[in-house]
Amino acid sequence: MTQIHPSAIVHATAEIGHDVTIGPFCVIEENTKVGDGCQINSFASIKKGTTLGANNKVHEHAVIGGPPQHLRAGVELGEVIIGTGNVFREFVTVHRGLAPGKNTVIGDNNLLMVQAHVGHDTIIGSNTIITNNVMLGGHVVIEDRAYVSGAVAVHQFCRVGRNAMVGGQAHVVQDVAPFVTVDGCSSLVVGLNTIGLKRSGYSPEQLSELKRAYRIIFRSNLTNREALERVRREFPQSPALHFATFLADSERGFIQGRSRGRGVDVSRPQLRVLSDEKDNAADSNRRAG
């Protein structure tokens, strides 16, 4: 049975599901949907344009569906669409899309810890952990099972690949490849997220394939085009193929590795995604050098 505290303000047009609990001094605005089994704790706000799926928990003082922090934000905005089983801890903020039809989307079973911020038009997959004080700029993408540690700042339009682990206080200004670990102090890739991959059920054979693909991408002297093509050719049925799928779509380039390893020419630049024109020019310069 749905329970709404007498001090809560729930707009008459809000759609409230079954077995929902809305605590003291909550505000549920118009044009909102709160799914079955949701728990909205005291002083939380669900603002207009927000859809919550079933069994979400919104803790004290969280604000879901606030307007974008953008000078071009007008009256007509996108929405916030949230799946099922998510937890939004105290003071989390999630902002709407910047324009109609452009939404902020959060999948299922995510944990957003205290004071995490999700900027406008951001897309978060499922089973992620976004820890305390993380700042996700506008148009960020966080893929499934990524882990973003405390006080990480992710620049707008950057992406974090699936099963990646971003260390605390890292400055993410380019894409984070899937399956890797980014060191918080240097903000550079330092290897595979082996522990996270094992916890996610990757087999020893799959881990071996991911390690081989990682070395091709981060520790070889191949150009980006050659490295990604080699990954496609050698791992057509492996999770490692997602390295190539993800990185081929990179617009900002991706974070490089801190160490090239033994036997590798460290004087040569790390791999990063470039346009064809820039890539050809870079290849010519490297060969000339």
CATH number at residue 92: 2.160.10.10
Q: Which of 59, 61, 117, 120 is catalytic?
A: 120
pLDDT tens string 100-120: 999 999 999 999 999 999 999
Please check whether residues 98 and 221 belong to one and the same domain: no
- CATH (domain of 204): 1.20.1180.10
Q: Is residue 266 predicted with pLDDT exceeding 80?
A: no
Over 132-191, what HEC string results?
CCCEECCCCEECCCCEECCCCEECCCCEECCCCEECCCCEECCEECCCEEECCCCCCEEE
Q: How many domains does the chain have?
A: 2
Same domain, 93 and 220: no
Whether 120 is catalytic is yes
Kindly state whether residue 153 falls inside one of the protein's structural domains. Answer: no
Q: How do residues 28-86 score in pLDDT, each as one tens digit?
A: 999 999 999 999 999 999 999 999 999 999 999 999 999 999 998 999 999 999 999 99
Pair (138, 203) in one structural domain? no
Query: Residue 233 belongs to what H/E stretch?
Result: helix 224-234
Residues 126 and 24 in one domain: yes
Q: How far apart are CA 220 and CA 211, in angstroms?
A: 13
Task: Mark whether 112 and 218 lie in a shared domain.
Answer: no
- Is 136 in the same domain as 250? no
pTM of full prediction above 0.95: no
Which residue, 111, 126, 142, sits at the end of a domain?
142
Active site (annotated) includes residue 191: no
Whether residue 212 is found in the same domain as residue 112 = no
Asked about 5 being catalytic, the answer comes back as no
Q: Which domain holds residue 263?
A: 198-275
> Per the residue annotation, which of 65, 108, 121, 137 is the catalytic one?
121
Largest CA distance in the chain: 75
The catalytic position among 97, 125, 138, 167 is 138
